[in-house]
Amino acid sequence: MTRFLTSISWILSLVLLAGCASSGTSYTQAEADRITSTMDSLRSAADLRNPNLHSTLWQQTAVEYAGVTRGAYRLAEVMLDRGLQDSTWTASLEQSEQGSDAYRELPPAVVLDVDETVLDNSAYQARLVLDNRTYGTDSWKAWCREAQAGPVPGALAFTEAAAARGVQVIYLTNRDADVEAATRENLKALGFPLDPDEDVILTQAEIPEWTPSDKTPRREAVAEAYRIVLLIGDNFGDFAGEVDVSIERRRDRAEQFQAYWGTRWITLPNPQYGSWEGATFGFDYDLPPLQKLRDKHEELRPKR
Q: What is the pTM of this model?
A: 0.85
Q: What is the pLDDT of residues 270-286, one digit of tens each?
A: 999 999 999 999 999 99
Domains delineated in the chain: 54-235+242-269 (3.40.50.1000)
**Span between the terminal Cα atoms of the chain, in Å:** 25
**Alpha carbon distance 239, 219 (integer Å):** 9
Each residue of 152-210: pLDDT tens digit?
A: 999 999 999 999 999 999 999 999 999 999 999 999 999 999 999 999 999 999 999 99
pLDDT at 236 over 80: yes
pLDDT band at 36 (very low <50, low <70, confident <90, very high): low
In this model, does residue 20 exceed pLDDT 60? no
Long-range Cβ contacts of 80-84 (<8 Å, 24+ apart): 80/110, 80/161, 80/162, 80/165, 80/167, 80/229, 80/230, 81/165, 82/263, 83/108, 83/229, 83/230, 83/264, 84/108, 84/165, 84/167, 84/229
106-141: per-residue pLDDT in tens? 999 999 999 999 999 999 999 999 999 889 999 999
Residues contacting 169, CB < 8 A, separation 6+: 109, 110, 112, 159, 162, 163, 192, 193, 194, 195, 200
Per-residue pLDDT at 45 = 52
